[in-house]
Structure 1
Amino acid sequence: MNSLVKVWIFCVLLDIIWCHESSFQSIEEMDNHLHADQIPAPDSQPSYEEIKKKLSQLFDQEIDKDSDGLATVTELKKWIEVVHHKLIEDNIEQQWAYYKPEVQEVHSWEGYNPEQKEVLHWEHYVNMTYPDNIAEEDNSDPNFKNYKNMFKRAERRWKYADRNSDSVLVKDEYKDFIHPEESDRTKEILVDEAMEEMDNDNNGEVTLEEYMNHINEMSPEEEKTNPEFAQVQQNHFITYLDKNKDSVLNKDELKEWLVPSYDKHEAESWRLIQEGDHNQDEKLSLDELLESQDRYLSLIPPEFWHQYNDDHSTTTPSTHEEL
């Protein structure tokens, strides 16, 4: 494969696997990124009336299950879970098709009976994803060190995802590899990766200085030009992340930030209701939703947007987000 094509594929997949890596994100932030990236740019979207019609249809047929004309937190949460599942599966299907996995006999991690399944080999994945020189230890490219670190991180994720330790991944295992946040078995690897990235002195804690260094290194320049940028980030560390107020983040505090114990979809449901709940009844009517319909585009499932996304393909990986 042409080396320039490989570099392009590598950059696209890093966007998918590490969710832009512009500082570590909580699962909730990753979800928001994933949902937002399915929506095409405004100039590629259907008409206002078409979107209104689609949202009205979804409200009546999918969200308002008791047909009382109002969407509750519970009803919204159930639909958000459906859309989220579709987004994850859509993302996995695109990538799985791109890699063209081979069929071979696999011993299930759940039992001893072998099955014929599609599998992806590590070597094949590497050859189709990374530049040819990724195995080198030294390279003049200023970005090579970061690429190398990401390659090593991918190796570790692969081992986490490989449930039966046979060195290949079936599709369910590949889901754990590309979306570890979706599995209780693998999501804590995100915490290990964050600690490794930010803990410069390797003492098992992240100081405010280490946190700010990471934020400054990974944040876009336009964000850092905001005069309040540094103070906002420091306040976030002190007020929300440092739970025990000892001026450092331990692994448990990183975990609560990145893989929080609260229900992310319920939290998103409350946020969406607050966006349009003008009469403050803690429910959302169709009129309230349509009055601010641009705020509710994430409720539309991915299959609707595919026809308006020029870059959607079943043969090349899509950028979303991920991780």
Structure 2
Amino acid sequence: MIIRLVIALLVTTFGVALPKEETHNDRVFNRELSDKEHFENEHHNPEYDHEAFLGEEAKTFDQLPPEESKRRLGIIFDKIDTNNDSIISREELKDWIRFTQKRYISEDVDRQWRQQNPENNPTISWENYQKLVYGFLENMDPAESEKDNEGFSYRNMLKRDRRRWASADRDGDDNLTKEEFAGFLHPEETDYMRGMVIVETMEDIDKDKDGKISLQEYIGDMYRGDEPEEEPDWVKSEKEQFSTYRDKDGDGFMDEEEVKNWILPEDFDHAEAEARHLIYEADSDADEQLTKDEVLKKYDLFVGSQATDFGEALARHDEF
């Protein structure tokens, strides 16, 4: 994966509750379509698209019998087919992906707002947020809280959250409205917060802190192979991508502007790209659209991934 989105937080021997994984992400980016490799050994990996189509409910869906999976997938097909012509066009598929992505963001914000603000006050203060999420640090050995574990420390997470909170706080009162809280949780989805995505990405990958990202740092964020191990083809491809497309001025490094072009490209539409890909994989008659039969024949493709959060409704009992 190019960007690792979630840092798993463990419960320590102190017996206190640490911030949970869903509290919010350490480094936020337009969420990867899946944590599966899109291609394995140069062959297409259907599990990538499975997670892409179903979102976080992919594991639940995997437990269903194949016939029930297909039945539910057929219902989802009908929802995507908004003009009821029994065919899914690329535009309909793209709109569905965007809808499910927005739904994920909205539901995530709602859930965390309730967790952090059970009384549903108009705002959440930094003081209360810090106590709820990082209060355990008061009882933790300072040396332990500063100790990096797989690239993070609790103290560093607190500092990062504090900075991100201040950036999301548009009126500077140290309290966040629900809209500002959404920007804090998902800066990649909020125009005025996207600069924070660049800053955090630079900090994570720029290991020598020289303000730029070398090829070694770029590859090291994705791949840490042992010396005797032969370098995978995808790593060689990423090195070419770095030299040809990422490092636009050819100086051997990515500066902040080049990182911005990499992770938040203005001309790249994730929903469009995923819609094109799914149609390419499932469109057996090459007419650039999908029938229900084509989708059901490739149901493993559509129900195998977590990537776009689309199809999350498949595990909702009230929708089936």
Whether these two folds match at TM > 0.5 is: yes
- Against the structure 1 CA distance between its residues 227 and 208, is the aligned structure 2 distance closer, same or farther, given a 3 Å change threshold? closer
- Is 50-59 or 140-149 further displaced after alignment? 140-149
- Is residue 174 of structure 2 the alignment partner of residue 167 of structure 1? yes
- Is residue 286 of structure 2 the alignment partner of residue 280 of structure 1? yes
- Is residue 38 of structure 2 the alignment partner of residue 38 of structure 1? no
Same amino acid, percent of matched pairs = 29
- Is 92-101 or 160-169 further displaced after alignment? 92-101
Displacement of 1:13: 3.9
Q: Which residue of 1 aligns with 2:71?
A: 53
Query: 1:234-275 deviations in whole A, cap 9, x for unaligned?
Result: 334224422343321122221122112122111111111112
Aligned partners of 2:68, 2:272: CA distance in 1, in Å? 28
- Is residue 202 of structure 2 the alignment partner of residue 195 of structure 1? yes
- Is residue 84 of structure 2 the alignment partner of residue 73 of structure 1? no
- Against the structure 1 CA distance between its residues 194 and 275, is the aligned structure 2 distance closer, same or farther, given a 3 Å change threshold? same
Aligned partners of 1:233, 1:163: CA distance in 2, in Å? 38
Q: Which residue of 1 aligns with 2:126?
A: 122
Structure 2 gap ranges (5+): 1-11, 36-50
Q: Which residue of 1 aligns with 2:15?
A: 4
Displacement of 1:201: 4.4
Aligned partners of 1:136, 1:233: CA distance in 2, in Å? 41
Structure 1 gap ranges (5+): 105-116, 309-323
Which is richer in helix?
1
Displacement of 1:177: 0.6
Q: Which residue of 1 aligns with 2:264?
A: 259
Aligned partners of 2:277, 2:250: CA distance in 1, in Å? 28
Displacement of 1:137: 9.8
Displacement of 1:54: 2.1
SS at match of 1:280: coil
Superposition map of 1:296-307 within 5 A: 296-297=302-303, 301-306=311-316
- Against the structure 1 CA distance between its residues 205 and 130, is the aligned structure 2 distance closer, same or farther, given a 3 Å change threshold? same
Aligned partners of 1:84, 1:293: CA distance in 2, in Å? 20
Q: Match for 2:93: what amino acid?
A: L
Q: Which residue of 1 aligns with 2:8?
A: none
Q: Which residue of 2 aligns with 1:231?
A: 236
Displacement of 1:196: 2.2
Displacement of 1:131: 5.2
- Is residue 81 of structure 2 the alignment partner of residue 64 of structure 1? yes
Displacement of 1:100: 3.0
Displacement of 1:306: 4.7
- Against the structure 1 CA distance between its residues 27 and 300, is the aligned structure 2 distance closer, same or farther, given a 3 Å change threshold? closer
Q: Match for 2:279: what amino acid?
A: I
Task: Quote the RMSD (CA, aligned, Å).
Answer: 3.4
Q: Which residue of 1 aligns with 2:251?
A: 246
SS at match of 1:151: helix
SS at match of 1:17: coil
Displacement of 1:82: 1.3
TM-score (norm 1): 0.74
- Against the structure 1 CA distance between its residues 99 and 59, is the aligned structure 2 distance closer, same or farther, given a 3 Å change threshold? same
The question of whether the paired residues in 2 share the 8 Å contact of 1:86 and 1:301 is answered with no
Of 141, 148, 159, the match for 1:152: 159
Q: Match for 1:55: what amino acid?
A: L
Displacement of 1:288: 1.1
Q: Match for 2:30: what amino acid?
A: I
- Against the structure 1 CA distance between its residues 135 and 72, is the aligned structure 2 distance closer, same or farther, given a 3 Å change threshold? farther
Displacement of 1:179: 0.7
- Against the structure 1 CA distance between its residues 178 and 78, is the aligned structure 2 distance closer, same or farther, given a 3 Å change threshold? same
TM-score (norm 2): 0.75
Query: 1:26-47 deviations in whole A, cap 9, x for unaligned?
Result: 5252x54695651242686332
Aligned partners of 1:66, 1:124: CA distance in 2, in Å? 48
Query: 1:44-96 deviations in whole A, cap 9, x for unaligned?
Result: 63322222222222222x22223333211111111111111111112122212
